[in-house]
Amino acid sequence: MGDHHRTPHRTLLRDGLVIDTDPQPAVRPHTDVLVEDGRIAAVGTRLPVHDAQMIDAREMIVLPGFVDTHRHLWQTILRSAAVDASLDGYLSRILDRHARRLTPADVHTGNLLGALECLDAGVTTVQDFSHIQYTPEHSAAAVLALRTAGIRAVFGYGYPVFDEAARQADRVRRVRTEHFPSRDGLVTMALAPLGPSFAPIGTAREDWLLARELELPIAVHVHAGPVAQRPIAALQEAGLLGADTLYVHGNSLADPELKLIADSGGAMAITPAIEASMRFGPPMVGRLRRAGITTGLGADAVTSAPCDMFSQMRAALMSGHFEDGPDGGPDEGLPLTVPDVLRMATMGGATALGLDHAVGSLGIGKRADLLLLRADAVNLAPVVHDPIGAVVLAAHPGNIDTVLVEGRPVKRGGRLTHQGLGGVLTEARQVAERLREADAAAAAEAEE
């Protein structure tokens, strides 16, 4: 279909303080970014551009959007419902008791609120590990919410942890055909099975083969525990290791396990705030860097941890400083730096999700997923000495003035552009109150 003479839709971000993230984070003052039909068309000084919508970026820091590689968006309606909880407490309260109560409508509300929260905080891409697929209606609601929000997302079809019956291959196949007929688009699909740390290897094998049959990437929680001390070796022995797999947490994995991941081309998602608060094991940024494993960051569970990428970057940095190097002291050979964690929050995450061709940096031709921070905010000014340091150490979501996804503004002037935000907030409160009451009633009954 010939549409060659149409004028492309252009937006010019004029004269910003631009931070690109590839190959390493670098600052480019007084720089323009030209967006053409949703893609980055040029980055440079004083670009000669006509017929473009202008965004004045003079008092702004311009960055590629953040990539959250591991988050359970449905849990947004359970925000702060498992504060100070251990892993066992979180599992029984959130994944056992509360999860069973959620209707498809509740999942829609949680996912939509969570996706809007991401966009508000500059997270333009999220891997939604959605282990709430009780019925096909739950799946439809979860996917619809992601599409409605206008976020770039990888919908990770996950089986409910405490419901064997919901693990049905044909349902996964149907979601793949009905909701994801093509492999492109803003929302794509992955499989998020229980995996070898929580299920017998025969079960994992069925899931891995299903993912490959449907050409879905895999996201999986891993740890060394009672089911498998060496879950990655178990996958290797079953002939299942591949570059299509994103491993989550893994703090308790031994070094040979990490080597297997590295050799297979797999990637890791770490969620430093949750890993510390639920005591998953020592921080592991340094080990992952030494092993040469692509690493992204994630918020994981907003039931129990902060939710924005600034918090994740700081948690990664600070916990990483506690980690010993190979000789027991600080790792002098590969010290963890502020630019390193910014790269993890952008390019690292994009690569971990297999989306580095599309997002993660300001590379020409990439999708224009961008965020603009107000450099004149009182907690950021003066942005003079080290803009990368200011973003990583001092910024918060309230500093974000504008967020673009494929060039479309989803936040402008500090406000989300989504029309139904008020309704989503009302629904979320109603769902949360209903869940709290149900939990209180169940607790009272248990005491009798």
Residue 67 pairs in a beta bridge with 125
DSSP H stretches of helix in 347-420: 349-352, 387-394
Q: How far is the CB of 127 from Zn ion (least distance, A)?
A: 10
Q: Position of tokens 């169940």?
A: 442
Closer to Zn ion by Cβ: residue 180 or 198 = 198
Query: How far is Cα 306 from Cα 118, in angstroms, rounded to an integer?
Result: 12
Q: How far is the CB of 301 from Zn ion (least distance, A)?
A: 6
Closer to Zn ion by Cβ: residue 158 or 339 = 158
Query: How far is Cα 317 from Cα 322, in angstroms, rounded to an integer?
Result: 9
Closer to Zn ion by Cβ: residue 34 or 191 = 191
- CA distances, 82 to each of 87, 91, 138, 309, 311 (Å): 10, 10, 23, 20, 18
Closer to Zn ion by Cβ: residue 68 or 300 = 300
Name residues whose C-beta falls within 8 Å of residue 22's C-beta, 6 or more positions apart in sequence.
343, 347, 360, 361, 362, 363
Residues of this chain, 273-312, that bind Zn ion according to CB under 5 A: 300
Under a CB-based contact definition with an 8 Å cutoff, are residues 391 and 373 in contact?
yes
Q: How far is the CB of 129 from Zn ion (least distance, A)?
A: 6
Under a CB-based contact definition with an 8 Å cutoff, are residues 261 and 291 in contact?
yes
Residue among 76, 171, 161, 77 at smallest CA distance from 121: 76
DSSP state of 380: T
**Which single residue brings its beta carbon nearest to Zn ion?**
300
Closer to Zn ion by Cβ: residue 214 or 220 = 220
Residues of this chain, 161-190, that bind Zn ion according to CB under 5 A: none
Q: How far is the CB of 93 from Zn ion (least distance, A)?
A: 15
Closer to Zn ion by Cβ: residue 268 or 362 = 268
Q: How far is the CB of 72 from Zn ion (least distance, A)?
A: 6
Size of the site for Zn ion (CB under 5 A): 1
Q: Position of tokens 């025969």?
A: 202
Q: How far is the CB of 430 from Zn ion (least distance, A)?
A: 26
Closer to Zn ion by Cβ: residue 278 or 403 = 278
Q: How far is the CB of 69 from Zn ion (least distance, A)?
A: 10
Query: How far is Cα 175 from Cα 376, in angstroms, rounded to an integer?
Result: 46
Q: Which residues lie near Zn ion (CB under 5 A)? A: 300
